[in-house]
Amino acid sequence: MATAFLSPKDLAAAIGVSESSLKRWVDSGRLAVQRTAGGHRRIPLQEAVRFVRAEGYRVQDPSCFGVLCGGNKDDAVDLDQAVYSALLAGDAERCCALITTAYLAGSSIPSLCDGALRSAMGRLGDLWRHGEDGIAVEHHATSICIQVVEQLRQFLSDVRSEAPVAIGGGTSDDPYLVPSQMAGVVLSDCGYRAVNLGPHTPNNVLLTAVARYRPVLVWRSLTGITDFDEVGTDLRALAGKLGDIPLVVGGRHAASAALSAGVGVHVVGSMCELAAFARALVLRRPRTS
Ligand code: B12
């Protein structure tokens, strides 16, 4: 697990600069710190991550960010291939290290979801045809993917108490865990308080949560559906109940289901598109204070 704070010495070692340079940057305000009771500088993890990404430092040793070594130390590593191999081998630590190192080097959360993680899961998907071994690998890869995406979440700044809320999940017959979880973390990265209800969430349950949390955006994840007309009817009913709250749908079968639903649904094809939609929505909202 990552620590909540880094010492200047650890961060300096991680990015290959001297401790005295790092302390100078702290004192000039380039890097925000908290002080211990004894007056020592302590850098909050999220601030260290912000600094490294904003200033483009190459992380030589990601271990102080809570990531075990074995990550993307070699600039030439093919991230998609490396993540695929790590998932196939069931190597959660390496997968976390690869993705976290890419994030620290400046890749965005939506692009990592749409890129290396989606590509690796897609390639693994062909294995289900190969019998029970393939299915076991898919289940394990799913659980690793969830760990990786959760690891990214801890680098995000704390959500403001007045942050807009977004709620979502999969439809009743959708068992897929990763897409909805990714949507939640991507929306957190966009400054939302995201509530992921997960797979198998029927409309009535979702609407109960809507009444409770008053979201400004609702998402539906549509991967494992078979009856497009039924899901389309459900989506239309949901959009009707949501009124002005936008209903965003994504996933393998989103476009077909939305077509069947008719009006009132925003189809997005990727996590990058979701982030763009969510950011634009916040900008359009009137300020409440
Ligand atoms: C893991 C997996 C499983 C696991 C699921 C475990 C779990 N609890 O999550 C298990 C083993 C249960 C499973 C079962 C089955 N699976 Co399966 N599975 C997969 C696999 C390998 C990965 C799915 C995944 O998590 N992908 C990661 C996500 C992030 O990627 P993505 O879905 O492409 O999503 C991206 C975009 O579409 C978008 N997006 C997706 N959802 C959303 C939602 C929102 C709101 C937004 C904004 C964006 C968005 O952003 C994502 C990132 O870019 C896929 C392969 C694949 N290509 O995805 C097959 C796959 C989906 N499965 C498939 C099949 C056939 C099945 C089974 C029918 C197998 C069987 N014979 O039983 C069953 C059906 C289960 C059901 N009830 O629907 C096929 C579907 C083919 C089709 N025509 O639809 C696939 C494509 C494999 C293949 N190549 O054939 N599966």
- Could you tell me what percent of the chain has a pLDDT over 70? 92
Number of domains making up the chain: 3
68 pLDDT tier (thresholds 50, 70, 90)? low
Q: What is the predicted pLDDT for the residue at 228?
A: 83
Domain residue limits at 205: 165-284
The reply to whether 91 and 42 lie within a common domain is no
Return the CATH number at 181. 3.40.50.280
Instruction: Give a yes or no: residue 74 inside a domain.
Output: no
Q: Which positions ≥6 away from 187 have C-beta within 8 Å?
A: 166, 194, 217, 219, 274, 275, 278
252 lines ligand 1 (CB under 6 A): yes
* 203 and 176 assigned to the same domain: yes
Strand bridging mode 41-44 / 5-6:
antiparallel
Contact in structure between 41 and 33 (CB atoms under 8 Å): yes
Mutate to test the pocket of ligand 1, among 252, 265, 270 (most ligand atoms within 8 A of CB): 252
5 CB within 6 A, ligand 1:
no
Task: For residues 108 and 136, state if they share a domain.
Answer: yes
Please indicate, yes or no, whether residues 277 and 190 belong to a single structural domain of this protein.
Answer: yes
DSSP line for 177-210: -HHHHHHHHHHHHTT-EEEE--SS--HHHHHHHH
- The verdict on residue 73 lying in a domain is no
Gyration radius from the chain CA atoms: 21
For residue 252, the CA-to-ligand 1 centroid distance in Å is 8
Same domain, residue pair 57 and 85: no
Residue 285 banded pLDDT, cuts 50, 70, 90: low
6, 152, 154, 157, 281 from 190: Cα distances, Å: 25, 13, 14, 10, 11
Do both 94 and 128 map to the same domain? yes
Q: Is-contact 151 93, C-beta < 8 A? A: no
- 121 CA to centre of ligand 1 in angstroms: 8
229-284 residue pLDDT tens: 888 899 999 999 999 999 999 998 888 888 877 777 899 999 999 999 999 998 77
Tokens representing 289 are 């204070």
The CATH number of the domain where 48 resides is what?
A: 1.10.1660.10
Q: What digits encode the pLDDT tens for the residues 151-180?
A: 999 889 888 888 999 999 999 888 999 999
Question: What's residue 282's pLDDT?
Answer: 86
Task: Give the torsion sign (CA, 73, 74, 79, 82).
Answer: negative
Count, residues in the chain: 289
- Boundary of a domain, candidates 130, 153, 176: 153
What CATH number did the domain enclosing 147 receive?
1.10.1240.10
Question: Does 3 have pLDDT greater than 50?
Answer: no
Task: Note whether residue 159 is domain-resident.
Answer: no
Cite the DSSP H helix spans in the chain.
Answer: 8-15, 19-27, 45-55, 79-88, 92-104, 109-112, 118-125, 132-153, 178-189, 203-213, 228-242, 254-261, 271-284
**Pocket-testing residue among 83, 84, 128, 270, ligand 1, by greatest number of atoms within 8 A of Cβ:** 128
Cβ-contact 250, 231 below 8 angstroms: no
183 plus 103 within the same structural domain: no
Ligand 1 contact via 260 beta carbon (within 6 Å)? no
Here the tokens at position 286 are 């009137």
Amino acid 154 reads Q
Indicate the top mutation candidate among 223, 238, 256 to test ligand 1's pocket, ranked by most ligand atoms within 8 A of CB: 223
Q: Looking at the domain assignment, is residue 289 inside a domain?
A: no
- The verdict on residue 72 lying in a domain is no
Residue 163, helix vs strand vs coil: coil
- pLDDT at site 70: 47
Under 8 Å between Cβ of 181 and 196: yes
Separation of CA 223 and ligand 1 centre (Å): 6
First and final C-alpha spacing in the chain: 38
Q: Write down the mean pLDDT value for the chain.
A: 88
**pLDDT value for 278:** 97
Given 129, 153, 177, which residue is the final one in a domain?
153
Distance from C-alpha of 30 to C-alpha of 2, rounded to nearest angstrom: 23
Q: Answer yes or no: is the C-beta of 16 below 6 A from any ligand 1 atom.
A: no
Could you report the per-residue pLDDT of 99-152, keeping only the tens digit for each? 998 999 899 999 999 999 999 999 998 876 666 778 888 999 999 999 999 999
Return the pLDDT at 58. 84
pLDDT band for position 74 (cuts 50, 70, 90): low
Are residues 29 and 116 located together in one domain of the fold?
no
| Ligand 1 midpoint to CA 11 (Å) | 39
Domain membership of residue 185 (yes or no) is yes
**Within this chain, do residues 267 and 203 fall inside the same structural domain, yes or no?**
yes
**Which pLDDT score, from 0 to 100, does residue 108 have?**
95
Residue 107 sits in the same domain as residue 181: no
Q: Is 6 helix (H, G, I), strand (E, B) or coil?
A: strand
Token look-up 């400046």 returns: 106
Residue 143 in any domain: the answer is yes
Does residue 130 sit in the same domain as residue 189?
no
Dump pLDDT digits (tens) for 5-18: 889 999 998 899 99
**105 & 193 share domain:** no
